[in-house]
Chain A
Amino acid sequence: MSIFYKISEALVKGQLDKTLELVNKSIEDGVSVNEIIDNGLSVGIRRVGDLWEEGQFFLPELMQGAEIMRSAMDILNPHILKQKDNTTRSMGKVVIGTVAGDIHDIGKTVVGSMLTASGFDVVDLGPDVPIDRFLSIAEEVQADMICLSALLTTTMIIQRDLITELKKRDLSHKYIVMIGGAPVTQRWADEIGADGFGENAVAAVKKATELIKKK
């Protein structure tokens, strides 16, 4: 059994200590960091996402998987920085939050965790975030993408307002805007001119990956 298979299996099974032990051993054995991520951890986290979408896994397994991924990346990041021609492996910088007036947190947190697990650099602003804060933080961290969650039909309007505000400030070209939340549909995304929509956390990560590659 290859070390990569063992790493992905441990992650899928939710074994934090075992995954980290295998990652540490791989580093000691001189396995390339990129391979540990691409052939081990990423394979595992994608499998966790698929199992969740299929209804085999549930929220605890999904979050556990994301947490293991994060812990493993904490070990790997210093090594990535040491590689001279590969200073960053980030898929892109994302600012995520739930819009103003909406305190629903969990969906957005799951998407944030899964984006982090998939290699994105995520700034999670929490729930109840005003438009100005989204835009000023996006500017500050030089974000590639803004992700807006809204769980209420009354607050999903703010997703539209943010996109309008971006146009008004002539910033539309700077950021990819993705939206999500229980009442949000592809139709709504099209109507307000959002770049992407995720039906669930796994679909959101796939869409984000697709959009960032096009950017």
Chain B
Amino acid sequence: MKRDFLQLVSERTVLFDGGMGSMLIDAGMKPDECPELWNVEKGSIIKDIHRLYFDAGADVVLTNTFGGTEIKLGTRALEKRAEELNKAAVRNARSVCKTNRYVAGDIGPTGKFLSPVGDITEAELYQSFSRQTEALLQEGVDIIVIETMYDLREALQAVKAVRDITSSIPLITTMTFDKKKRGFFTLMGDTPEKCFSALESSGVNIVGANCTLESKDMLELCRLVREKTPLPLSFQPNAGQPAVRDGKVTYPQTPKEFAADIVQLVEVGASIVGGCCGTTPEFISAAWEALRKRI
């Protein structure tokens, strides 16, 4: 039987996968295409990406369901296919998952904002997250990851949606923070301390940060919050800050530089590490090599 995930996290460093979006663009996805639709229409490409990450040494891959809420899919008139697309995504990841590796159901922000920025309601967010969670769970994910959340209130609706359905599934929630003069804040102005404490009391098992920050700043954030929360920490930095060259987005870090920062993150107290935008299987492979003794 597969080892309990939270048990594993308490015993050793756990490695997550890297970016999905940039891999899809490299595989030919156009900007007006819906990434989640590829779970059905180009399932073999999705499976190949998951397989590359497992081969690189990732313990966990995230399903291709970042935009899989009905609200987000609704911007492309695909809301009626939410259940189908989420389920297909889990099947794709499951089909290439090795023994003792894990599939995490990925939940991202809806893209709509609560008042005063937008006019979506908490009840609408809750319902959308709830439906996505049901589909992910029905198809058998091992973990749920709520990620790239810029509004704590939205993250808490996603957490509530998951926890109202099951109290047993390991639940990770990572927020995205900006580095400002006065410290780290979400887009809405919430501090990491405030976010992590609210998430902890809502039943999240592991908290952390992903996206927006490069690994150097992520390291500073990790040092800052390590003593502030009793929960294990998870960090997925970008491969540096994106820049545009010849109309194509590029990330400055090499896999080796990224891996060196990942080791530091672990030394400072991260239990789970992985990559966000701009990271590829090469980055995860380099991180795995660098972390070998700890994995």
Contact = CB atoms under 8 A, between A and B. Distances in A.
Interface stretch (B47-55, B139-147, B184-192, B282-290): B184-192
A102 B31 contact: yes
Contact of B247 (A55, A56, A102, A157): A157
B188 A56 contact: no
Contacts of A102: 31
Secondary structure type dominating chain B contacts:
loop
Contact of B30 (A54, A55, A105, A154): A154
Interface in B102-140: 111, 113, 116-118
A153 B247 contact: yes
B1 interface: no
B117 A106 contact: yes
Contacts of A64: 116
Contact of A67 (B116, B180, B244): B116
A154 B31 CA distance: 6
B117 A153 contact: no
Nearest to B76: A103
Contact of B244 (A55, A56, A188): A188
A59 B189 contact: yes
B75 interface: yes
B31 A152 contact: yes
Contacts, number: 55
Contacts of A154: 25, 30-31
A101 B181 contact: no
Contacts of B182: 55-56
A63 interface: yes
Nearest to A157: B247
Contacts of B248: 153
A64 B115 CA distance: 9
Nearest to A103: B75
Contacts of B255: none
A103 B71 CA distance: 13
Interface string B162-190: 00000000000000000011100111110
Nearest to B75: A103
Nearest to A56: B182
B250 to A, nearest CB: 9
Contacts of B247: 153, 156-157
A60 interface: yes
Contacts of B113: 106
B117 A60 contact: yes
Contact of A183 (B118, B189, B242): B242
B142 to A, nearest CB: 31
Nearest to B242: A183
B181 A153 contact: no
A200 to B, nearest CB: 12
B31 A55 contact: no
Given A60-B116, A101-B32, A153 B249 contact: yes
Given A106-B113, A153-B249, A183 B187 contact: no
A199 interface: no
B246 to A, nearest CB: 10
A60 B31 contact: no
B113 to A, nearest CB: 7
A58 B76 contact: no
Given A55-B185, A58-B188, A101-B31, 13 more contacts: A56-B182, A58-B186, A58-B187, A59-B117, A60-B117, A60-B189, A101-B30, A106-B118, A152-B31, A153-B248, A153-B249, A155-B31, A185-B244
Instruction: Sort A-B residue pairs by CB-CB distance and give the 7 closest, nearest first.
Output: A58-B189, A55-B180, A154-B31, A101-B32, A153-B249, A64-B116, A63-B117
Interface of B: 25, 30-32, 75-76, 111, 113, 116-118, 180-182, 185-189, 242, 244, 247-249
18 contacts: A55-B180, A55-B181, A59-B117, A60-B116, A60-B117, A60-B189, A61-B189, A64-B116, A101-B32, A103-B75, A106-B118, A127-B75, A152-B31, A153-B248, A154-B31, A156-B244, A183-B242, A183-B244
